[in-house]
Structure 1
């Protein structure tokens, strides 16, 4: 049960991820918060892409639409099954429901097996040669009706339908998935037809035979012999040439004809559909792990590059030496908004905040104590706002450490420039901080002893 639930979740995540990719073909979504969430919560590249898509999907309603589709899918399947059952009953009724109780054996075979044979042939050809015949199958009809009922033309259901079929096609599962549904419905239809046919033949008297105007009787003799090979192998009686050509309607001959007709429906209708339904199920089980987005596609390669750019620098705490890591390049002028973010970082508890002198244009004004939760909140906010400048107020008397350097590197990836305001410091403290910035490769971060200098360009 748990394995089935996990597989369902994996397939749902794959459909959501593919649907987001299709939506972004017409324009990128605002994904700053989703990217930060993915980086914080996941480590593997594929999991980060799925996490980002999940966050965006919740915002635009993809998960809700998919949940509605899952709710309606079994009901749509049941409606199709009932439709086929009634169609099977009607077909059986046409064969045995005549007022004269005469059955033309060849016409009955064509009526019961003709459409089935044609659709099965198209499905088999479609396994080798790509065709649009699957769009006319019961499987496609079931999927399309589910999408239509769940969301209509105005919701996200059409996108989810495209995403699902795109995943199935990429995994080479499209004919097998649609085929499983189609074969299952056809098998059920033949079961109903056989039940109705056997019931009528068991409790009513019929005259079975053949008629022709232009064909030679030998054609029917040979046709009965060839068609009777598979039913005969299954144990059904096959009328011989004398029975076929005899105009006498003995009870034993009528029974042989009736069982031959039943055997043909079983051998050429029911059993092939059951067999191919089982084959389709086995192929699905084998190939379903391939139902994943194509991470080699340019769209996903671009996302992976963005995730790599956001990744924090790896710091080995056991290494006492100085860090010699280059700072991130930061955002270009066209990628930032005209916003100043002010942050109070690990200030003494007794320090008032916000400190006097901050410009009214600063938004937001935050204060963090260095905890992981508050750092993540700050990074999410900065990633969403993309400020032109970020001012971090630090206690000058405190000593900068690896945690401070890691935070500055992560912030630099989401803003145009970063400045430090060394609160309540002196020349020696300022010199210590500036030397530390140079030693750790953070020369892009400027340190200022007074607020006026730090706010230059904003007042």
Structure 2
């Protein structure tokens, strides 16, 4: 996400609010005139202005209040979810060691304790390499969904905040890692509780551990115990040999080996993978969390930036510090001009009516140039041929004067008696900007007014 808001990065809370407002405005723009003005006045980066606008709108429609409630309830929902999963794990452990006959079928116990865990872990790993887009079955997603439900209910803004957070996670490629971190932590706590309950029961009560089958061969169990015990054996857990597996009645030492083998399998294939992947998920989060930013490349944000740019104070562009202005240009002498009064519209917007209504008969001809090189040359040729006594040049006051405007004025002044500017539209600040610019470029003798009659009178 190369074009994300990065100047500086937004806090995650601000980024979620900004993205949530974007999702809400997909159904229709909000009334943001006041928010835009206030955000435009803030001396912050483009990212900060967009976030400021979103914060003001979020305050008005209740987003911030629900986000604060969600942040308040999130740890409590996580704790409740941990309690539920741990209780489920303890229930499984109770089913394994709580039988009245105190007999434990090793393989049934192993599948009961590790089956769902292995299935969900494999699905999570598959989601890292396959183009899977849904992690809605993970404990992490369940935690976020429950938090949104508790914070806002069905009709609040919390579902929008949930979508915004998920969208940010997706943009930063953090969906499996964020949801996975929560899931792995909950599973790790569950296995820790299961191991604690099992070890307590095995330490203070006597159990008979064995395996049973009707259709499988004994070699299956011999090889299974050997293969499953290889990794726990690397950590020092005992692995029953073939004689122990095939023995019809196990002695106390063999029962102890079976119990520790079962414990080692739960540690190696249950607890440790979840702890390992929780650490990996946390590291990936730290590496990619700066990408949790709304993306300026989206049309929605490009439009907002364009609106902020349009609200920025106009400035003089295309300066020419190298232009020599020691001697301001002077017009033709009175005896060298005709009596014509020419009006020229220069780079006016298309919606500007031209020629303007109510012009006196003395103003003729009325010309218009769009600023292209060809039309500029044609204008200069016409003015050089007619040599008017007065040249009125109508300019759009809201536009910024530039080097091209200055050059054209200087060239026109050499072919007429005097040149005056008629500033169309714009406010007093825009008119003042043009007058200051005329003084800055050495054209202070060029009169500039916003009223045609005043311009014709020489702005007296």
What does the per-residue CA deviation read over 1:198-254, in whole Å, with 9 as the maximum and x for residues that have no partner? 000000000000000000000000000000011000100000000000112200000
| Largest Rg, 1 or 2 | 2
Residue 277 (1) aligns with residue 278 (2): yes
- Which residue pairs with 2:267 in the alignment? 266
- Give 1:446 deviation, angstroms: 3.3
Tell me: CA distance 1:133–1:439, structure 2 relative to 1, closer, same or farther (3 Å): closer
Residue 153 (1) aligns with residue 154 (2): yes
The answer as to whether partners of 1:122 and 1:133 remain within 8 angstroms in 2 is: no
Provide the aligned length of Structure 1 versus Structure 2: 351
The answer as to whether partners of 2:114 and 2:270 remain within 8 angstroms in 1 is: yes
The answer as to whether partners of 1:167 and 1:292 remain within 8 angstroms in 2 is: yes
| Structure 1 runs of 4+ with >2 Å offset | 130-133, 313-316, 326-332, 407-410, 416-420, 432-441, 443-450
- Which residue pairs with 2:36 in the alignment? 35
Query: In structure 1, what is the Cα distance between the partners aligned to 2:348 and 2:22?
Result: 28
Query: In structure 2, what is the Cα distance between the partners aligned to 1:97 and 1:435?
Result: 91
3-state DSSP of counterpart to 1:273: helix
- Which residue pairs with 1:339 in the alignment? none
- Which residue pairs with 1:399 in the alignment? none
- Give 1:86 deviation, angstroms: 1.1
- Which residue pairs with 1:306 in the alignment? 307
- Which residue pairs with 1:79 in the alignment? 80
Tell me: CA distance 1:313–1:95, structure 2 relative to 1, closer, same or farther (3 Å): same
- Which residue pairs with 2:242 in the alignment? 241
- Give 1:192 deviation, angstroms: 0.3
Q: Could you state the TM-score of these two structures normalised by the residue count of structure 1?
A: 0.70
Q: How does 1:179-328 map to 2 (within 5 A)?
A: 179-314=180-315
3-state DSSP of counterpart to 1:103: strand
User: Mean alpha-carbon deviation: is it higher for 57-66 or for 170-179?
Assistant: 57-66
Residue 446 (1) aligns with residue 447 (2): no
Query: In structure 1, what is the Cα distance between the partners aligned to 2:51 and 2:270?
Result: 43
The answer as to whether partners of 1:327 and 1:444 remain within 8 angstroms in 2 is: no
Query: In structure 2, what is the Cα distance between the partners aligned to 1:331 and 1:40?
Result: 29
The answer as to whether partners of 1:419 and 1:448 remain within 8 angstroms in 2 is: no
3-state DSSP of counterpart to 2:11: helix
3-state DSSP of counterpart to 1:175: helix
Query: In structure 2, what is the Cα distance between the partners aligned to 1:22 and 1:330?
Result: 35
Q: Give unpaired runs (5+ residues) of structure 1.
A: 1-6, 333-406, 411-415, 421-431, 451-459
What does the per-residue CA deviation read over 1:368-416, in whole Å, with 9 as the maximum and x for residues that have no partner? xxxxxxxxxxxxxxxxxxxxxxxxxxxxxxxxxxxxxxx9889xxxxx9
Query: In structure 2, what is the Cα distance between the partners aligned to 1:419 and 1:313?
Result: 12
Q: How does 1:89-168 map to 2 (within 5 A)?
A: 89-131=90-132, 134-168=135-169
Q: Could you state the TM-score of these two structures normalised by the residue count of structure 2?
A: 0.70
- Give 1:43 deviation, angstroms: 3.7
The answer as to whether partners of 1:76 and 1:142 remain within 8 angstroms in 2 is: yes
